[in-house]
Amino acid sequence: MYHSWLDRWDERRARRGEEGKKTTDFILDADRAFPGAGKIASVEEFCVLADQAVADPAFFDEPSESDQGFERTEGWLKFPSDIATDIAANNVVWAKITESGSFDRAMVIFHHWNASARNRQIASFFSRRGITVVEIAMPYHFERSRPGSLHADYMLSSNLGRTIQSIRQGVLDGRKLIHWLKSEGCREISVLGMSLGAWVAGLIAAHDPAVSKASLFLTAGSLADMVWIGRATRSIRDSLEPAIELTDLRRAWGPLNLENYAHSLARPDLDLHVVLAKRDKVVLPALSARFMQRLEDTGARPDILELNCGHYSLAIPPYILLAGLSLKRFLSSTGKSGLRSRSL
């Protein structure tokens, strides 16, 4: 009875999330994804460039290691993004800093797609426990929102190139912030990503050795599959389906597929923590399970917590409390403990 109510609660929340979403044109826009690509006219040509990006270890590298342009004022940090887009507000990165009294340990948070506010409770909880929390605005979110948009439609859409550019921008912004934290004397840096933010956080953890712990909430590997079958992205599938098949979309968005970087996530100096929802209709459990298996096959030993809730109901008690306590234990632990999976 309770779980039936929980499923209905999640569905109502999903319907509210559909407000303002609509079908849009399918666009390749390869030059946004792969600067210098020139005019690409076919899906196959786009996929070839995507295959090359997956094989390129520098695709998510910072274009610059400059610490110039950082401005810190009254709990806020802002700095220029190293990717310039046609939305001026999106080209300035904002981050909210909740200090712990020390920059020795820091956690950078990447919120979910279309988040409307930062999470003061999470920031306060961990800052009281000696971890400085930095909540970064992902592309087209919060202060970086596109004027007139009802949601962050430019970060995830049927424009293949803009989607890659946006997530790559989120990764480079996060790495630039992490570089700044290291320059400020931070010894241990963790990342926490939620849903779409988990893809950004996971890509950062796979490519940046400065990250020692990564916690991924509501994640899977293939962004293409998540969009194609997930509850929150029906309008994007409706836009994609007449123009591209799922097999090609997987290749086109291959640079964003965390499964392609599982070997990097399995590096010995990175600890992984994953929180999944058994009743998730947005990031389906089968997709998450496939990603967990891929991680295990490459030698990663993530600490996995599976909760009997949905994608949205993770945010309500008791599930958010269980997830928070699990994250607290993970951040407090030292060294790898081996694969551990708990189901509640």
pLDDT averaged over every residue in the chain: 94
Strand order in 76-80's β-sheet? 71-73, 76-80, 92-98, 132-136, 105-110, 188-194, 211-217, 271-277, 303-307, 340-343
Q: What was the pLDDT predicted at 282?
A: 97
Provide the pLDDT confidence category of residue 66 given band limits of 50, 70 and 90. low
Q: What is the pLDDT of residues 18-60, one digit of tens each?
A: 777 888 999 999 999 999 988 899 999 999 999 999 999 999 9
Whether the pLDDT of residue 343 is over 80: the answer is no
d(CA 140, CA 149): 9
Q: Is the pLDDT confidence value at 2 over 80?
A: no
Residue 32: how many other CB atoms lie within 10 Å? 22
| Domain residue limits, the chain | 2-343
- Omega of the bond leading into 318 within 30 degrees of 0 (cis): yes
Pair of tokens at residue 342: 């708990």
What's the sign of the alpha-carbon dihedral 151, 152, 153, 157? negative
What is the mean pLDDT of the segment spanning 96-115? 94
Nearest-angstrom CA–CA distance, 21 and 120? 27
Segment 67-93 shows an average pLDDT of 94
Band of the pLDDT at 335, cuts 50, 70, 90? low
| Radius of gyration of the chain measured on its C-alpha atoms | 19
Domain 2-343 has CATH 3.40.50.1820: yes
CA-closest candidate to residue 28, choices 11, 42, 38 = 42
- Pairwise pLDDT comparison (69 vs 131), residue with the higher score: 131
Q: Does the pLDDT of residue 15 top 90, yes or no? A: no
Question: Could you give the percent of the chain with pLDDT greater than 70?
Answer: 97
Query: How would you write 221-237 as a 3-class SS string?
Result: CCHHHHHHHCHHHHHHH
The C-alpha atoms of residue 114 and residue 155 are separated, in whole angstroms, by: 9
Decide: 217 and 192 in contact? Cβ < 8 Å: yes
Instruction: Please determine, for residue 311, whether its predicted confidence score (pLDDT) is greater than 90.
Output: yes
Region 95-106: mean pLDDT is 93
Q: Is 65 a residue whose pLDDT tops 70? A: no
Residue 338 has pLDDT above 60, yes or no: no
pLDDT of residue 10: 85
Q: Cβ(201)–Cβ(174) under 8 Å?
A: yes
What does DSSP say about strands 271-277 and 211-217: parallel, antiparallel, or unpaired?
A: parallel
- Site of tokens 């990603």: 291
Which tokens belong to 251?
Answer: 């290749």
Q: In this predicted structure, which of 88-92, 102-106, 153-157, 193-197 has the lowest mean pLDDT?
A: 102-106
Centre a 10 Å sphere on the Cβ of residue 12 and count the other Cβ atoms it contains.
11
Task: Give burial (CB, 10 Å; 0-12/13-18/19+) of 210.
Answer: middle
Per-residue confidence (pLDDT) for residue 340, from 0 to 100: 65
Per residue in 148-189, pLDDT (tens digit) is 998 999 999 999 999 999 999 999 999 999 999 999 999 999
User: Considering the entire predicted model, what is its pTM?
Assistant: 0.96
Q: Given this model, what pLDDT does residue 110 score?
A: 98
Alpha-carbon gap, residue 100 to 192, rounded angstroms: 17
Q: Is the per-residue pLDDT at 252 higher than 60?
A: yes
Average pLDDT over residues 87-93: 98
CA dihedral 318→128→267→196, nearest 10 degrees, is 50
